[in-house]
């Protein structure tokens, strides 16, 4: 009985070590992603307009980007599928088709 208890305690300790290692790896991965996102935002000049929050408990990272209301350069333009600023109106409204879809317009 005593040997079985010692074996169970030993297995519990090994399992606890494995869980601790997994948690440490997850936290390092979250931290790495957070740092990479921060670096990209700094390079894009958006670091002062972005709030990054992370949760180790749920392994999530949330971003909130506050875009300027007045953007004469178009740098922060977010396209919703409309024409590209550099394309002409005729190019933007032209239907493009795929021969495999029998001439149905692509979305």
- For 63-95, how does the pLDDT look when each residue is reduced to its tens digit (9 = 90+)? 666 666 666 666 665 554 444 444 444 444 343
Reported as a single tens digit per residue, the pLDDT across 3-60 is 999 999 999 999 999 999 998 898 888 778 878 887 887 887 776 665 666 665 655 6
Confidence grade of residue 98 (pLDDT, cut at 50, 70, 90):
very low
In a domain, 98, yes or no: no
Q: What is the H or E stretch that residue 92 is in?
A: helix 89-93
What is the pLDDT, as a whole number, of residue 51? 62
In a domain, 27, yes or no: yes
What is the pLDDT, as a whole number, of residue 15? 95
Reading the block at residue 85, the tokens are 């600023």
In a domain, 14, yes or no: yes
In a domain, 46, yes or no: yes
Closest C-alpha to 96, from 81, 84, 83, 106: 106
Boundaries of domain holding 7 = 1-80
Q: Yes or no: say if 103 and 96 are a contact pair by the CB < 8 Å rule.
A: no
């Amino acid at each position: 009985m005593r040997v079985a208890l010692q074996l169970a305690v030993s297995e519990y300790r090994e399992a606890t070590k494995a869980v601790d290692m997994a948690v440490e790896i997850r936290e390092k991965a979250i931290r790495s992603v957070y740092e990479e996102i921060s670096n990209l935002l700094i390079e894009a000049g958006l670091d002062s307009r972005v709030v990054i929050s992370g949760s180790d408990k749920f392994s999530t990272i949330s971003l909130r980007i506050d875009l300027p209301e007045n953007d004469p350069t178009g740098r922060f333009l977010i396209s919703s599928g409309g024409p590209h600023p550099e394309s002409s109106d005729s190019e933007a409204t032209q239907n493009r088709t795929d021969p495999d879809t029998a001439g149905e317009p692509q979305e």
